[in-house]
Structure 1
């Protein structure tokens, strides 16, 4: 009943927002026709509105298609086909959204070699077999972009760990209902319930699966970084606090969920992802000021074979900290100042 109520409220809110967006779009279109000879370039207002129209259209058309899939599944109970259809729908939605952000928002993505360790390597590739992908959480849209890359360019089916608040998006909730995922709302003293949920998500991964997890737990901001460092010191974790102070561009990672996934899928390689270019996009006002984007989103990753992942907890913590420091150094090298 809670899920039904959440979806009902989410759909009502979506329809209300969509009506407002479409009315604004009609007004903007008329304004564009009248002023085209004097204002040939798309202004920021029209760029943002164009992306909003595309997103609203994706949501509405996706929900209609989801309702059709649900009715068909109730008739034939063909679970494999239903899952394939959901994956194709997720692929189509992400492709359309990325095309819109490229056209109207100036989004450009560049895969970079990892040269932070003093050596040049070829552009990143994914190792074969199941993988656990640990991403840096930096800026609005980074999680969707990484999901799109895994699904459409590398042929991997993401098993995604998401914040509980995203369940209020009716299309996300509908698309993921037949795809492995976990909504989490980590709270202090949850007795390991969040880690257990992530561990259950990692069990039984196929060769084309990729578990996507963001150990920071939220988007990086300097204020969040300082709060996280103070929390570590208050808990008496002086060494972890000192390491976090040396890293300027990432939040301290929370190891419990990742370690639960490693225990549940010991055969999976681990991939660490570093990216920059969206760091400055934290709020709707940041997005407004930044469009169109002037610099590309630069991204890289490196893999750690499953046989090289430590099994002892203390060694594993040091291994995670070392790779997180490597992400920090890479971001420092590639980010655009300001």
Structure 2
């Protein structure tokens, strides 16, 4: 079960999504049997892999796959109970599904690979009676999973997430998030001129129990992507933006259009800005395996602003977001510098 972006992969058509849902349990059985066949060989790698990191990662992958399959089956069951999705407990039932799945996955990840979350300080999740807009840094493995857990499991809010439409390839996540009215951003090849229209539609429908999550960087931060951003800005002659990017090595440039659309169409929503660090340097499957068991925790800080303290005008939102992103970079830099001196 993953909540992250796969921007290079176009979304599957509806008919293929239905086929994927139908064959997913059978696929799970086949992959589980294959994993069992591989276990003895993976154990033989112990002299070279003393932590059995590859075995742990494959086990966790299979476990997450079955949690995802469980979401598909339970979504089918809820559809049978309410064919038109008009049950008064429709949202609550699906929130319970994702809460349980996230709790199970994060508990198992902690036991198997050492993935654990720590929240810095007291975190408020918006005022009662107000929806919540959540703007987060995007870096390291499973950060979006942790933030979704924070919103659904800790805050008890219904997560309505803005994510790449490539995530429609994941049958379980796609089913439950579609039913919770998340927005799958279309790929650039088929998006037309305005990729924020769906963001605006979703924001205008937020209720007091909802939390709308967006990653304004658009993709996971890595050193390579930050360096690529510097090269592109330099080549384009963007001196001011280049200077800002150089001064903020721990974040990518935040795009303000989606955030501005959220503010304009949900002006009564409180706004939380999430910073996190701990697993920043781990990117890609090979790096994840080398890092297991994780020795650093994923440290999360959330700062919430009242709706009336956050602008709604597009230019003012861009300026406000830029200031917050400078604060996010400073917080990450301070925590990483402190960790390196331990």
Normalising by the smaller structure, the TM-score range is 0.7 to 0.9
Match of 2:201 in 1: 200
Cα distance between partner residues in 1 of 2:229 and 2:249: 12
> What is the rounded CA distance, in whole Å, between the counterparts of 2:223 and 2:295 in structure 1?
22
Query: Where in structure 2 are the equivalents of 1:20-39 lying within 5 Å?
Result: 20-25=31-36, 28=39
Q: Following TM superposition, by how much is the alpha carbon of 1:85 offset from its aligned partner in structure 2, in angstroms?
A: 1.8
Does 1:56 find its partner at 2:57?
no
Q: Deviations for 1:2-35, whole angstroms, at most 9, x for unmatched residues? A: 2121341465477436523333236537987x9x
DSSP 3-state at the match of 1:160: strand
Change (3 A) 1:236 1:255: farther
Query: For 2:318 and 2:85, how far apart are their aligned partners in 1?
Result: 45
Q: CA deviation at 1:263?
A: 0.4
Q: What's 2:111 paired with?
A: 103
Q: Say which SS state the counterpart of residue 162 (structure 2) adopts.
A: strand
- What is aligned with 1:332? 333
The residue that corresponds to 1:310 in the other structure is: 311
How far apart are residue 235 of structure 1 and its match? 5.3
1:218-248 CA distance string (max 9 Å, x none): 0001221233334445556432332122101
Give the CA RMSD over aligned residues.
Answer: 2.9
Q: Give the deviation of 1:64 after TM superposition.
A: 2.0
The normalised TM-score by structure 2 is 0.85
Contact 2:42/2:55 (CA < 8 Å) preserved in 1?
Answer: no
How far the C-alpha of 1:256 sits from its partner, in A, is 0.7
1:262-307 Cα shifts (integer Å, max 9, x gaps):
1000111211100011212221111111111001111101122221
**Structure 1 residues 313 and 175: alpha-carbon distance in aligned structure 2, compared to 1, 3 A threshold:** closer
Gaps of 5+ in 2: 1-11
Matches within 5 A, 1:85-124: 85-113=93-121, 123-124=122-123
Quote the Cα distance in structure 2 between the aligned partners of 1:289 and 1:140.
Answer: 13
Question: Does residue 45 in structure 1 map to residue 54 in structure 2?
Answer: yes
Cα contact 1:140–1:282 (8 A) shared by 2 = yes
| Segment of structure 1 superposing worse, 89-98 or 301-310 | 301-310
Would the aligned equivalents of 2:245 and 2:252 in 1 still touch at CA under 8 Å? yes
Provide the secondary structure at the position in 2 that maps to 1:183: strand
Q: Aligned partners of 2:70, 2:313: CA distance in 1, in Å?
A: 48
Contact persistence 2:260–2:318 (CA under 8 A): no
Provide the C-alpha distance between the structure 1 equivalents of 2:298 and 2:106, rounded to a whole number of angstroms.
Answer: 13
SS in 2 for 1:134: strand
1:137 equivalent in structure 2: 138
- Normalised by the size of structure 1, how large is the TM-score? 0.86
For 1:316 and 1:189, the matched residues in 2 are separated by: 27
* 1:72–1:252 CA distance, 2 compared to 1 (3 A): same
Runs of 5+ consecutive residues of structure 1 not aligned to the other structure: 114-122
- How many residues end up aligned between the 2 structures? 324
- Pairing 1:254–2:263 present: no
Q: Within 2, Cα distance between the matches of 1:52 and 1:205?
A: 33
Q: CA deviation at 1:87?
A: 1.5
